[in-house]
Structure formats: C-alpha cells, structure tokens
Amino acid sequence: MRIDGTTALVTGGASGLGAATAASLAAHGASVIALDLPQGIEKAEPHEGVQLVAGDVTSADEVQAALDGIDPDAAPLRIVVNCAGIAPARRLRGSKGVHDLETFRKVIEVNLIGTFNVMRLAAEVIANQSADEDGQRGVIVNTASVAAFEGQIGQVAYSASKGGVVGMTLPAARDLASSGIRVNTIAPGIVNTPMLAALGEEVGASLAEQVLFPKRLARPDEYAQLVRMIVEHDYLNGETIRMDGGIRMQPR
C-alpha cells in the first residue's frame, strides 16, 4: 500500500519510536497526526508534515477527537501506528514489598487497553472509507516488545501488557480482513530511546553486549523503516516481527 497521499495516526508520536515513525512517514508523503500527552508535546521537535495533537490513548473521547479531525477526501486514514507505552519496573515481590496493584493496572491500561482503544476506533474510520485499487483500506501496526516472550526480573507488568498486544494481533487481523485492513505487530529489542537513556549509559552498554549482531542498540529510525516496509508489503498480515539483533533476554 502506498504511503504518499494518505493520513497516518501515530500514538506516542512526540518522542522515541513514535517521533521517528511520524517523521519518516511524513518524509514519504503522508500527512501525520502524532498523538501524545500534553507534557510530551511540549518537548517535541516539530517536523514538516507532522501535526502534534494532545490526547490520551486510554480516552475514547480524546482518540475519537483526533480521528474526527481527519478529512478523508483530502487524505484518507490508511496507516495507524501504536507506539504509546510506559515501562515501570517492579518485582512481584522484592525489597520494596509486594508489587502494587495500581502500577500493574496502569501499565495494562496504557500499553494494552490503549492500543486496543486506538485500534478499534481507527478501524471504524478506515473501514468506512473507499478501498484503494487493490481493495485495501488500511494497515495497523502495533508495538509489543521482546519482553512479551522473555520478560526480565521486574517486568511482570510490562511483559503482561506486551504479551497481550502480541495476542491481539492475529484475531484483530482476522476480524478486520473483510474490511481490507491488515494488522501486524513489531516486537523491538533494545532501542536507544529517551526511556532507555534515562537508565544511564552503563545500562545501555550492558544491554548492547547481549545483542547477537550487530552489537549495538537499535535506532528509532530502524523501527520506522520496518513500519514503512510493513505498510508497503501487502502480503504481511497477522504477524509479530521481532526487531532485536538476535537478542534473547536473560533474567536480569
């Protein structure tokens, strides 16, 4: 499916994977709506073709408001990329005590329910638009993590949320096939994003050593490149694709 002349919605679009994806899709001719929290948008760098819109992925009203601003006659919504997410670390039981329920609930709400919320509302918009010459109406790309398969100590909430994203991929693709909408998921390994940088250089260097090859952290633009490939590769559907340099995460 072509990127040029379409509208793309990218959540978490103010920084990290989302910002790189929004800029990349805009550079390839899409009109991009980058949805993020207000505090994220305040710090975001502007990019030509990218409209920063404040909104919470867990809010049906705020996601719908962003979708309502799209003019399907000018550039129909064809691409949705879910990058919004959080990753607090807490052991099920550790020196800080038992894992609190609210943190677990918040991670599930943002990473899993937020992804589902955007997917369901965006799919309704896409399904009611005209198909392209190949019968396609759109592509949804969700973001999981290798933690969905090899969660480390302290990642019980994060792994549960990303495992849920992986689990939604095939049934969502099956649900939306009749509407001409494909659904795929990317499971990144260790990507050099602001979220990782906050942990310090020593942590990043240690993680890079675990990568099979190349022995470095992934770049956000490599994630964006894979998004473009998924969009343009019409036969990719219902798949979860690891982008991890061959890493298999150790317990810690």
37: which DSSP letter?
-
* Number of Cβ atoms within 10 Å of the Cβ of 31: 18
Q: Please check whether residue 237 lies inside any domain of the structure.
A: yes
The two tokens of residue 82 are 């879910």
Q: Please check whether residue 24 lies inside any domain of the structure.
A: yes
Nearest to 139 by CA among 116, 110, 172, 164: 172
Q: Find the helix packing angle between 60-68 and 114-127, rounded to 10°.
A: 30
pLDDT at 199: 65
Positions in the chain short of pLDDT 50: none
Q: Please check whether residue 48 lies inside any domain of the structure.
A: yes
CATH of the domain at 46: 3.40.50.720
Q: Please check whether residue 226 lies inside any domain of the structure.
A: yes
Say whether 158 is catalytic: yes
Q: Please check whether residue 202 lies inside any domain of the structure.
A: no
Q: Please check whether residue 213 lies inside any domain of the structure.
A: no
Q: Please check whether residue 250 lies inside any domain of the structure.
A: no
Q: Please check whether residue 102 lies inside any domain of the structure.
A: yes
| Three-class DSSP category at 245 | coil
Q: Which domain holds residue 186?
A: 7-191+219-242
The two tokens of residue 251 are 């317990």
- Active site residue: 158, 162, 165, 226, which one? 158
pLDDT at 204: 76
The two tokens of residue 177 are 């096939």
- Bridge partners (DSSP) listed for residue 140: 80, 183
Number of domains making up the chain: 1
Nearest to 126 by CA among 95, 80, 167, 194: 80
Instruction: Mark 82-91 as b/e (b = at least 16 C-beta within 10 Å).
Output: bbbbbbeebe
